[in-house]
Amino acid sequence: DAKTTQPNSMESNEEEPVHLPCNHSTISGTDYIHWYRQLPSQGPEYVIHGLTSNVNNRMASLAIAEDRKSSTLILHRATLRDAAVYYCILRALKSSGDKLTFGTGTRLAVRP
């Protein structure tokens, strides 16, 4: 599986934008970029995914570099409830099935 690299931790102030980076230099043409987050004492939660174009949803935006070797998850206005571990994952859909392999993620702290 292609690997992703994320900073171990980041901090943000409440109500400010947060840019969470992810490097995936060995990404293949069929890999989707997925982001999940895990709040304390909860299971992981799907945030957003994309292939080549930037994506927006109610939770966040995903900006994908033109060469697809990196991406950035953008939380437009961080709240205290956004404090979580954020995982950037490459998902390859194969005829034999697919799976998500979680790395260590980025632990986001939000200061009031």
Residue span binding other proteins (CB under 8 A) among the ranges 4-12, 14-22, 67-75, 89-97: 89-97
Tokens of 47: 């945030």
d(CA 24, CA 51): 13
Does 37 participate in binding other proteins (rule CB under 8 A)? no
Q: Distance of CA 95 to CAs 1, 24, 89, 98, Å?
A: 15, 23, 19, 8
Nearest to 59 by CA among 76, 43, 38, 80: 76
Q: Binding string to other proteins for residues 49 to 68, with x set by CB under 8 A, is what? A: x-------------------
Using CB under 8 A, which of 8, 40, 42, 66 touches other proteins? Answer: 42
54, 65, 101, 111: which one binds other proteins (CB under 8 A)? 101
Which is nearer to other proteins, 13 or 104 (by Cβ)?
A: 104
Report DSSP state, residue 39.
-
Is residue 81 part of the contact set for other proteins (CB under 8 A)?
Answer: no
